[in-house]
Amino acid sequence: MVKVGIVGGTGYTGVELLRLLAQHPQAEVAVITSRSEAGVKVADMYPNLRGHYDNLSFSVPDVATLGGCDVVFFATPHGVAHALAGELLDAGTRVIDLSADFRLQDAEEWAKWYGQPHGAPALLPEAVYGLPEVNRESIKGARLIAVPGCYPTAAQLGFIPLLEAGLADTSRLIADCKSGVSGAGRGAKVGSLFCEAGESMMAYSVKGHRHLPEISQGLRRAAGGDVGLTFVPHLTPMIRGIHATLYANVADKGVDLQALFEKRYANEPFVDVMPAGSHPETRSVRGANVCRIAVHRPQGGDLVVVLSVIDNLVKGASGQAVQNLNIMFGLEERLGLSHAALLP
């Protein structure tokens, strides 16, 4: 039984970790922290967890207690894991960070996009980017995992087969992505209100979104060189879900794209390449740790369109974090993650 700690469990990725771990047969949440909610029972804050964690309360974060866990998840704003991860690793506790703190390998680039110095550059060399479809072997031995962002997961899984095969013009990739509102977190912001985000659609951060360098970094690895990426995120009036619509020039019209994608993900438990001609719906992955992908070449032209959907809170965050836990601790990768999506 893996003993789990969670730092910052009051947000949506926190409650989603709790929901998933409640069904996990080999993991147990021993401690969950929140400064603002210390002393409050988890089930009092999240009534969906009543009957599951009736004896678990939020506590003030404390390295000694957390250090008694086998692994600690960070479901925190950026900066927090920087401050605590080192001590936990020293205590022999592994760290799975759902925040952005260790996603970018370059501390200066991190500082530029997050507007503050990187707080733990010494840890960067050993941080593993926790996208199992790319880094499974490294994850196995890792002590520190940077769980990919939601947009980056959907975008990378959709682009990777084209880039690894060297098929796409890497100078002009486009990721037009649509996210549900839960991607903005549980913070009380006007823009996330029901009456602001409901019944409307808008692009945001077209000038530059923090997930842009993360996606680019992953695509560079896949392509083996520089890439030119335009990333336009949109806010969509739904709670969960990301729909990435990806555009790439593939001049070679002889290649069987469907076969390429199916082969790339043949052994992946959580990537579903749908039949040719499909249009994946985000609801088909709601609550499930799955990325469903379809690949199209409209009108037989040069431009290939990849459709990639995930639940931003599961494969885009907490589910992927649990998948990393399974891999790190030598467990069956599907453990606790095998349930079907909730539809309708």
Residues of this chain, 166-225, that bind a second copy according to CB under 8 A = 172, 174, 176, 178, 180-182, 186, 188-190, 192-204, 206-208
CB of 87 to a second copy, least distance (A): 31
Give 31 or 294: the residue with its C-beta nearer to a second copy.
294
Q: Does 305 bind a second copy (CB under 8 A)?
A: yes
Q: Show the tokens assigned to 17.
A: 């970790």
290 binds a second copy (CB under 8 A): yes
Angle, CA of 214, 217 and 222, to the nearest 5° = 130
Per-residue b or e along 156-179, where b marks 16 or more CB atoms closer than 10 Å to that residue's CB? bbbbbbbbbbebbebeebbbbbbb
| Residues known to be catalytic | 150
Pair of tokens at residue 18: 């709790």
User: By CB under 8 A, which span of 104-112, 160-168, 227-235, 322-330 interacts with a second copy?
Assistant: 227-235
To a second copy, the closest distance from the beta carbon of 127 in angstroms equals 26
Contact 327, 333 (CB under 8 A): yes
157 binds a second copy (CB under 8 A): no
Query: Taking the CA of residue 218 as centre, how many other CA atoms within 13 Å lie in the half-sphere pointing to its CB?
Result: 30
Give the CA distances from residue 243 to residues 66, 209, 216, 233, 259, in Å, rounded to whole numbers and listed in that order.
36, 16, 18, 10, 22
Binding segment (CB under 8 A) for a second copy, from list 10-18, 32-40, 76-84, 320-328 = 10-18
Judged by CB under 8 A, the residue of 115, 125, 254, 298 near a second copy is: 298
Considering CB under 8 A, how many residues would be counted as binding a second copy?
86
User: CB of residue 38 vs a second copy: minimum separation in angstroms?
Assistant: 18
Amino acid at 45: M
* Angle, vertex CA 334, rays to CA 327 and CA 281, nearest 5: 120
Minimum Å distance from CB 126 to a second copy?
31
CB 278 within 8 A of CB 294: yes
Write the DSSP string, 314-339: IIIIIHHHHHHHHHHTT--TTTT--P
- Tell me which stretch binds a second copy (CB under 8 A): 76-84, 156-164, 235-243, 316-324: 235-243
The answer to whether residue 277 forms part of the interface with a second copy (CB under 8 A) is: yes
- Work out how close the CB of 317 gets to a second copy at its nearest, in angstroms, rounded to a whole number: 13
Tokens at residue 86, please? 């080192």
- Which CB sits closer to a second copy, 116 or 230? 230
The number of beta carbons lying within 10 Å of the beta carbon of residue 108 is: 11
Rounded least distance, CB 50 to a second copy, Å: 6
Choose between 260 and 293: whose C-beta lies nearer to a second copy.
Answer: 293
Task: Say if residues 83 and 65 touch (Cβ distance below 8 Å).
Answer: no
Q: By CB under 8 A, is residue 247 in contact with a second copy?
A: yes
Spatial CA neighbour of 91 closest among 112, 117, 65: 65
Burial (Cβ within 10 Å: 0-12, 13-18, ≥19) of residue 261? buried
Contact pick of 65, 249, 255, 268 for a second copy (by CB under 8 A): 249
* Residue whose CB is less far from a second copy, 50 or 263: 50
Which x/- pattern over 21-60 shows residues binding a second copy (rule: CB under 8 A)? -xx----------------------xxxxxxx--------
List the interface residues with a second copy, window 325-344 (CB under 8 A): 338-344
CB of 74 to a second copy, least distance (A): 20
